[in-house]
Amino acid sequence: MGKDRSIAFPVVGFQAWKVPRSDGAFTQVPAVSVVDIRSWYRADPSTPYDAGMSKQPPPTDPTMIHPPELRFLEGPQNRKFELGRLLRISAEFLRGFRRLHFVGPCVTVFGSARFEEDNRWYQLARETSGLLARCGFTVMTGGGPGIMEAANRGAREAGGRSIAATIELPHEQGSNPYLDLEIPFHYFFVRKVMLVKYSYAFIVMPGGFGTMDELWEIATLVQTRKVRNFPIILMGREYWEPMIDFLRERMVSEGTISPDDPDHLILTDDPEEAARIATGTGLSQFGLTYGPQAEPNPLLLERAIVDRR
């Protein structure tokens, strides 16, 4: 590689590199690490960066072309690309703020997309969300199947508002059919802001990596006081108790979290208790009231939720 002054182009998925040879063909070699993938190889360190790159023709193999979402986090890009990302991110935030401004106080429900209708956690999420809707909350989810579908379904069946902040994924199974409002997002971090910004409590059902990511993000915001002390309600004692035990017995004892940090996570199996905690906190701590809500201004092209029932 050093003698040929080659450049390594990562294959999408980061499983291997395609390394151009001097004869114009490509050799596929295993990828070493993300750090290596982010770096352009130059045999001669004294060669200017741009000059070293200009020695090679642009890639034409489709497997060597990075989708924009992969390029976004791969270090510095050209100014045009970076400006385009900034504008798109800003537009997503603006669209989210405008569409969610009139949805009313929300409770966000997190959980696995893999549970079917006959699963006990699905039924628990459905019942809990119905009670939240009857208490006057708009139920918000990620809009997918499983727990998200159960929560949106429970809210709709109870006559409440059911909304979702969805994400564009190549393998996405599509949104569930129980939504009054769906707002699709391209960037995960923009979607996360929307799921947190408009909610006054969080219901966390059993789930996987995505659920854990959302749970710990909110717990960190509460711990660092970047947001007020929102109720974080973990439903399913059997599922969550081993994790709570780990927090108290390992993390607290090692001093990595404070003794009262696990107290921010409320364990329950009772839908009525979950709804009571969410309602009580909203009324007492955040000043929510039952009464008329703000109306959209047609002159600003604002829209309320369209009831699709």
Domains in the chain (CATH in brackets) are 1-64 (no CATH), 89-300 (3.40.50.450)
Average pLDDT of the chain, as a whole number? 81
Instruction: Give the pLDDT score at 69.
Output: 63
Residue of 125 and 72 predicted with greater confidence: 125
DSSP letter for 300, please.
Answer: G
Tokens of 57: 């023709």
**Which residues, listed in sequence order, are joined to residue 89 by a DSSP beta bridge?**
none
In 3-state terms the chain splits into helix, strand, coil percentages (rounded to 5) of: 40, 15, 45
Low-confidence winner among 7-11, 31-35, 245-249 (lowest mean pLDDT) = 31-35
Instruction: Give the pLDDT score at 24.
Output: 61
Closest CA to 173 of 207, 152, 144: 144
Tokens of 239: 């599922």
How far, in Å, are 41, 93, 114, 179 from residue 185 at the CA level?
35, 9, 21, 16
Average pLDDT over residues 255-270: 96
Residue of 146 and 17 predicted with greater confidence: 146
Instruction: Give the pLDDT score at 56.
Output: 46
DSSP letter for 39, please.
Answer: S
Compute the distance between CA of residue 276 and CA of residue 282 in angstroms, rounded to an integer. 10
Amino acid at 24: G
Q: Which of 25-29, 136-140, 283-287 has the highest mean pLDDT?
A: 136-140
Compute the distance between CA of residue 210 and CA of residue 219 in angstroms, rounded to an integer. 14
Q: What are the φ/ψ torsions at residue 145 (nearest 5 degrees)?
A: -80, -165
Helices and strands (H and E) in the chain: how many: 11, 10
Q: Are 213 and 167 in contact (CB under 8 A)?
A: no
Instruction: Give the pLDDT score at 291.
Output: 67
What does R_g of the chain's alpha carbons equal in angstroms?
Answer: 24
Residue of 239 and 286 predicted with greater confidence: 239
What is the number of residues in the chain? Answer: 309
pTM of the model: 0.75
pLDDT in tens, 144-176: 999 999 999 999 999 999 999 999 876 656 899
Compute the distance between CA of residue 281 and CA of residue 286 in angstroms, rounded to an integer. 7
pLDDT in tens, 233-256: 999 999 999 999 999 999 999 999
pLDDT higher than threshold 90 for residue 139: yes
